[in-house]
Chains A and B, each alone.
Chain A
Amino acid sequence: MTMTREDIARQREVALVDLVDRLLAGGVVIGGDITLSIADVDLVYVGLRALITSVATADELGLSLPAAGGAPFR
């Protein structure tokens, strides 16, 4: 399967969304010492949204990112 430039861009952005999902909502937690608040996590998604829009619009990528106010946690 040959990948188009769009495919590669999409995979890169999907990887970034997956990375955020895992690092900020998964993993082992040391009790009570997490420095990130949910507000911080939302900010990450806002930043991500801006980043992706700068590459191509989310629509073109077929990606639907969570709304800035949405809860990113599982």
Chain B
Amino acid sequence: MIWVYGICDRPELAPPRRRGLAQAPLDGLREGELLAVFTRHARSVGEPAPDALWAHERVVERLMADRAVLPMRFGSTVDGEDALRRFLLERRQPLLAALARIAGRVELGVRILELHASGNGSAPAVATIAAGAATGRDYLISRLRDGKRAEQLATTLHEPLATLAADARLQTARGADDVLRGAYLVERGVVPRFRVTVERLQLAHPEVAILCTGPWPPYTFVSDA
């Protein structure tokens, strides 16, 4: 079985002498303008535990250091090199287009959480229901009002960040306190300015916590490849 980490440009550049999952050495398969970087395994690897996730991520980040790379989803495996070559041939055009789009760019993650005066996460809404302090109708109305306000706040915070990005994706909120979950595709050179903007927004909006992570490989911007 072959575990694939990423599809890269600059195929003449050999894969780094590093190890991937289960300490297997990295190998590369070249097909035209593309290079797939992978490891070989006799049996299934990659239970999605944090260690394995970081091992996959470290390989992709190492590749990112000297080439453009399309990160593979964790768990992308094929039977062998023939299947991998077929994949590269069949998807050549979308893969090349995606590489051109992300070259020189990185992904930054932004998560904005609403801070409650009481200081305890999503507990208030749950507590309200549990205590029966409000009728269901009151609760729904207050949630609706909160939702509108959060939506406006999300727009206010998203726009200055989106201006700095080549592309941006907003993701659906997870918890009740999520104001915004976004991914921004940013030129490497613009990353410092992006971070300064995040800090400026945080200072202007003490009612939320703005958490910025990255630079990540562009996981969120390769879905059409």
Contacts and interface: CB of A to CB of B under 8 A. Distances in A.
Contacts of A19: 50, 53-54, 57
Interface in A18-32: 18-31
Interface residues of A, number: 40
Nearest to B52: A23
A22 B48 contact: no
A64 B49 contact: no
Contacts, number: 126
Given A18-B213, A47-B50, A33 B76 contact: yes
11 contacts: A15-B213, A19-B50, A20-B48, A22-B107, A22-B217, A26-B219, A28-B70, A28-B71, A33-B77, A34-B76, A44-B49
Given A1-B199, A33-B78, A64-B121, 11 more contacts: A18-B216, A22-B216, A24-B75, A27-B222, A28-B71, A28-B76, A31-B87, A44-B48, A62-B121, A64-B113, A64-B175
Interface of B: 4, 7, 44, 46, 48-50, 53-54, 56-57, 70-78, 87, 95, 98, 107, 109, 111, 113, 115, 119-123, 171-172, 174-178, 199, 209, 211, 213-214, 216-217, 219-220, 222-223, 225
